[in-house]
Each structure stands twice: as structure tokens, then as C-alpha cells.
Amino acid sequence: MVATATSIRQERLTNAYIARLAALALLLAFAATQAQAHTFQQHLTPYDPLQNPASTLNSASVATLESTTNNGATFQLFYGNGLAHNPDAEAAFNRSVQRWADVLQDPVTVKINVDMRPMDDGILGSTNTTWMHFSFSEIRNLLSSNLNETNNALENSLLPYLPTAGQFDASLPWTQATFNNMSLTQANYHALGGISGTGADASITFAEGINWDFDPRDGINPTAFDFEGAVTHEIGHALGFISEIDYVDWVAVQDRTSEAWPWPLDLFRFSPDDLQDPDFNFATTTRNLVPGGSHAFYADDIIIPMATGYYLGDHRQGSHWKDDLGLGIMDPTADYGELLSLSQNDLLALDLIGWDVIPEPSCLILLSTGLLIIPRRRQPRHPNP
């Protein structure tokens, strides 16, 4: 029996416009005699209300963390029973959330289940992210109208020129004539002003028995993993740092086809060759969702390399920056003793997909020494509004 595109997509979805699961599993990789980098893996799984969906909130204790620098985002952590006797892990979860709360200005509440429990050998932890899908036009219009920040030159130069549903095209390993739908996380949807969805935005569980360093303020033990940084990374996915290329990669490796639903991050995902084409046009140039080759996140005069796919690409899932370049918390791997930190790249991406970041990325670009900046050889081309 040949699987249809619809049946394949149904392996991942059930009912439209409700919260769904996108499991983000973290796997440890070991060589025979020396440690290898820890890979952050994202696995997309079907929504199953019988298997503790991400939208179900933990019933244990709750902590509310608000920004210490602005009147923006509020995070609520719903602690599971596994954290009852691990105050160091609980404190690290709190600090990880505070990192994000202090840079996001949106007046939304992000709800996250957090816990620790024993897991199978080789698994460091997992995250289930609640996500949704709507028409391409609806999400595109929410993004293009997200111009309420003062002096944000980057948003002003790109968001008004986002492709319409009729203009958007993306390269795929198969042919798809139209892109009628978009996906996004529940948290990202709320940041854009959406009101549906009231359950948890993510459920993050880490494995007990791993050699964690719970407090990076005195450095990371060379034989341990940065727990606080790993949590910060996973929250980044819940906030919307996800690409459809990982679903495309999973379907293509099985020699099948399916309908692709781009995420907001994919609106800025191009082939570097296309970015250097004199005829490049932000609204109409084809986005790149083919695993392998080279991929880049486009932010006007800033181009940031991205991972290209676990199966058919560089063996790093595409919902990350390119590996081993020190590009930010959304790098795909972490090594023993490595301190994981938020970068201006991370904030720039979150800003363009709908979050109000403080300080504005347009200011951060001028001050940052951590951005990978590849200057364009020409001015960006936009259609007339």
C-alpha cells in the first residue's frame, strides 16, 4: 500500500487548531574511549491525549518568574514530583527561565512543566512542545503586523515584505504547488497576539543520574553538562525556534512525500547561493527546505549558517544553528565542560518570528562581538509594498 501525503501527515496530526506534541528528545552520544558532543535532537510525534500531552499541567508546586528588567513576559513553572528532593535542579530551572524573561517584552504568560526522573540509557531528557497550525495568510499577517517596537530597523526592513501565500515558495525533495498552512508553537502564537490555547506551552523532563553541573556561575565542571544551558536551549524551541526541514528530512529519508507546513523561522531560511543572486527578492525568492547542502538564516545584512538535517544533511537537526561555530544557545550540540549561553543571534531570530526582544536586535548588532556577520555584497531587494 502506498501512503498518501494526507496519511503521512496524519501520523503527526489529529485534529486541526488544537495543541499538539512535538517531542524534543535529547540524546547522549559516546565514543568507545572519549566523550562526544551531546546532540540536541528534535523528534516530531503524533498528538495523543492518552499519553500526557504537553498541554496538561503538572499538579505539583508552581513558581511564577517575571522579568527583572521590564514589564514583559511571565513564566510559570509547574514542578513535577521528581524535583521535590533536588533543589539544585529546581534553582537551575528557575535561572534558565529568568534568562528568557529578562529579554522578552511580550505581555504573555508561558507555562512550562518541569521535572526529573530516571530514563533509558543514553537519553538525557525530553521536551514536548505544544504547537498549532493555521492558514499561511493568518500567521503571515500576524507576523507582518508585529511592528510595535520603537526603532527596530531590522523588523521594519523585513516584516512588511514577508511573502504572501501566493508569493511563498520553498524547495522540497518533492513537488508542492501551494503552501496553504503554517505551524507555530503555542507560545509563539500568543506572542503574536493569538488568544486560543490555555494549557502548558511545553513539558521539559531531564534524566536523573547524569553528571550535571547545575550552576554555571562558577564555570562548568569539565566532566559534566551545563544543565541550565540545556534547559535554556529547550525553552528556545518552545518559544518557536523550530523548522519544518526536520519533518521534511524524516519523510524524505523514507522515500515518501507529504504536505509541508512552514514555521515562522522558515520564512527567513534560504540557500546562501540564492542570497548572493543579484535578483534576490525577500518576498519571492524560494526558501530552502531541502535537507543537505547549505542553509542560512537571513536577517537583512546578517546571514547566519544553519544545520541542514539529521538524516540527509549534516547529521544535525535543522531547527538549530550550524554546529561548532559558537553561534548561540540554539547550537545543536553541547560538550562536557561547555558553558551554553544566549547570543545575539538567538535574540535576533526570536525577534523576527514575533517576540519583542530587549534590547532591540538592531541595537545589539552594533554592539555585539558574538554575531556571525557575513556582509551582503549588495542592498537587499524588496518588492514595492
Give residue-wise pLDDT tens across range 274-299.
Answer: 999 999 999 999 999 999 999 999 99
Give the residue with greater pLDDT, 53 vs 186. 186
CA distance 30 to 38: 8
pLDDT at 20 over 50: no
Q: Percentage of residues in the chain with pLDDT exceeding 70?
A: 73
Model confidence pTM above 0.85? no
Which CA distances in Å does 272 have to 114, 185, 243, 296? 38, 27, 17, 6
> Which residues are CB-neighbours of 64 under 8 A, at least 6 positions away?
74, 75, 76, 77
Residue 303 C-alpha cell reads as 546571514
pLDDT at 177 over 90: no
Find residue 30's DSSP bridge partners.
Answer: 35
In this predicted model, what pLDDT tens digit does every residue of 24-63 receive, in sequence order? 333 333 222 233 445 444 433 322 322 333 445 555 556 6
pLDDT at 384 over 50: no
pLDDT of residue 361: 55
Number of separate helices (H) and strands (E) present in the chain: 10, 17
Find residue 207's DSSP bridge partners.
Answer: 117
pLDDT of residue 15: 31
Report the SS3 class of residue 29: coil
What DSSP character marks residue 82? G
How deeply is 237 buried, as exposed, middle or buried, from its count of CB atoms within 10 A (0-12, 13-18, 19+)?
buried
Q: How many Cβ atoms are within 10 Å of 184's Cβ, its own excluded?
A: 27
Q: What angle do CA 4, 136, 141 make, to 5 degrees?
A: 175
User: How does residue 158 score in pLDDT terms, banded at 50, 70 and 90?
Assistant: very high
Q: 305 near 345, Cβ under 8 Å?
A: no
What torsion, rounded to 10 degrees, do the Cα atoms 305, 307, 308, 313 define? 130
pLDDT at 375 over 50: no
Domain boundaries, the chain: 5-367
pLDDT of residue 149: 62
Q: 189 near 57, Cβ under 8 Å?
A: no
Q: 285 near 205, Cβ under 8 Å?
A: no
CA distance 345 to 137: 27
CA distance 75 to 56: 16
On average, the pLDDT of the chain sits at 79
Q: 377 near 278, Cβ under 8 Å?
A: no
Which contacts qualify for 193-199: CB closer than 8 Å, 24 or more apart?
Answer: 193/142, 193/146, 194/142, 196/17, 196/132, 197/19, 197/55, 197/130, 197/132, 199/19, 199/53, 199/54, 199/55, 199/56, 199/57, 199/111, 199/130
Place of cell 547542502: 293
CA distance 374 to 31: 34
CA distance 127 to 203: 5
